[in-house]
């Protein structure tokens, strides 16, 4: 599925199942909540925290998909073409960071 197709799919899902988009501020709050759920999994699975007894069903992919869904909702309701925006963003990063990361001594193998 392309990004453009994902935007259309989410829009169709909202129309068929969601009644309407939540307003932008509500979606921003939901996005923050979903990112927090991703952070919880990452901190427990890859960081130094341990899982709680009731955290047996963790699915990082599902939580990342929740984040993507809300990002797509925000893009749709604010008129952002994510495909175009992502391409522009990659170009910006490619120009700005062309040498930056390769010259970062913190990222070299010798550390």
Better-scored residue on pLDDT, 56 or 21 = 21
**Mean pLDDT (whole number) for 49-66:** 90
| Gyration radius (Cα) of the chain, Å | 18
Q: What is the pTM of this model?
A: 0.87
Q: What is the pLDDT of residue 103?
A: 84
Torsion of Cα atoms, 91 then 61 then 80 then 28, to 10°: -120
Mean pLDDT of 17-39: 97
How far apart CA 14 and CA 10 sit, in angstroms, is: 6
Task: For residue 15, give Cα distances in angstroms to 40, 65, 66, 71.
Answer: 31, 19, 18, 17
Q: Greatest CA separation found in the chain?
A: 55
- Taken in order of first residue, the domains within the chain and their CATH numbers are 3-107 (1.10.287.1080)
DSSP conformational letter for 21: P
């Amino acid at each position: 599925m392309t990004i453009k197709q994902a935007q259309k799919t989410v829009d169709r899902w909202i129309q068929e199942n969601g009644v309407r988009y939540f307003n932008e501020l509500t979606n921003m709050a939901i996005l923050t909540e979903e990112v927090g759920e991703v952070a919880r999994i990452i901190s427990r699975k890859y960081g130094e925290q341990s899982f709680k007894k009731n955290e047996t069903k963790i699915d990082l992919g599902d939580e990342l998909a929740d984040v993507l869904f809300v990002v797509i909702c925000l893009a749709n309701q604010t008129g952002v073409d994510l495909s175009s925006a992502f391409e522009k963003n990659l170009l910006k990063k490619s120009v700005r960071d062309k040498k930056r990361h390769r010259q970062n001594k913190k990222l070299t193998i010798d550390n």
